[in-house]
Chain A
Amino acid sequence: MGSLIDGVERALLGVLLCDHVRVPEAAHLDPADFGTAAHGRIFQALRDVAGTLPAAIGINAVMHLVAAATGDPAIPADRLLALALTAPEPRFTAVYARMVHEAATLAALAAHAERDPAYGPGPDGGSTPSDAAAVHRRALGYALAAHVAALHRPPPDPYAMTAADPAALTAAGRREQEILAELLQDRDRIHDVRSWLAAEAFAPGPHRDVYAAMAAVADRGEPVTDLVLAWELARRHTFRPHRTAPAPAAAAAAPPAAAHPAVRICARVEPGTAARLGRQLVEENARAPLAAAVAAINARPRMRAWYPSDPRGPAAKPARRTARGDVP
Chain B
Amino acid sequence: MSESLPLLVSHDFMALAHDAGLAEQPGPSFGAACRYQDFWWLAYADGWLRVTDPFMSTELDARAARLRNASAPGGT
- Contact indicator A101/B32 (Cβ below 8 Å): no
- Interface SS of chain A: helix
- Contact indicator A102/B43 (Cβ below 8 Å): no
Query: Shortest CB–CB separation between residue A127 and chain B, in angstroms?
Result: 20
Q: Does A68 contact B (CB under 8 A)?
A: no
- Name the residue on B nearest A241 (C-beta): B45
- Contact indicator A109/B56 (Cβ below 8 Å): yes
- Interface SS of chain B: mixed
Binary contact readout B39-50 vs A (1 if CB under 8 angstroms, 0 otherwise)? 000111110011
- Contact indicator A28/B69 (Cβ below 8 Å): yes
Interface residues of A in 214-250 (CB under 8 A from B): 220-222, 228, 231, 235, 238-243
Q: Which of B7, B29, B31, B33 contacts A132 (CB 8 A)?
A: B7
Residues of chain A within 8 A (CB-CB) of B56 are 109, 112-113, 140
Binary contact readout A147-186 vs B (1 if CB under 8 angstroms, 0 otherwise)? 1000000000000000000000000000000000000000
- Contact indicator B29/A220 (Cβ below 8 Å): yes
Interface residues of B in 39-76 (CB under 8 A from A): 42-46, 49-53, 55-56, 59-60, 63, 66-67, 69-70, 75-76
Q: How far is the CA of A240 from the CA of B31 in the complex (A)?
A: 12
Q: Does A63 contact B (CB under 8 A)?
A: no
Interface size class of A (residues with CB under 8 A): 35 or more
Q: Does A139 contact B (CB under 8 A)?
A: yes
- Contact indicator B51/A28 (Cβ below 8 Å): no
- Name the residue on A nearest B27 (C-beta): A98
Q: Does B21 contact A (CB under 8 A)?
A: no
Query: Shortest CB–CB separation between residue B30 and chain A, in angstroms?
Result: 5
Q: Does B23 contact A (CB under 8 A)?
A: no
Residues of chain B within 8 A (CB-CB) of A137 are 52-53
Q: How far is the CA of A158 from the CA of B50 in the complex (A)?
A: 32
Residues of chain A within 8 A (CB-CB) of B50 are 136
Query: Shortest CB–CB separation between residue A156 and chain B, in angstroms?
Result: 15
Q: How far is the CA of A146 from the CA of B51 in the complex (A)?
A: 16
Q: How far is the CA of A95 from the CA of B71 in the complex (A)?
A: 11
- Name the residue on B nearest A135 (C-beta): B7
Q: How far is the CA of A95 from the CA of B63 in the complex (A)?
A: 16
Q: Does A144 contact B (CB under 8 A)?
A: yes
16 sample A-B contacts, Cβ–Cβ < 8 Å, listed by A number: A25-B76, A101-B27, A101-B30, A101-B66, A102-B31, A105-B30, A105-B32, A105-B60, A109-B42, A112-B55, A136-B50, A140-B53, A143-B43, A221-B28, A238-B45, A239-B45
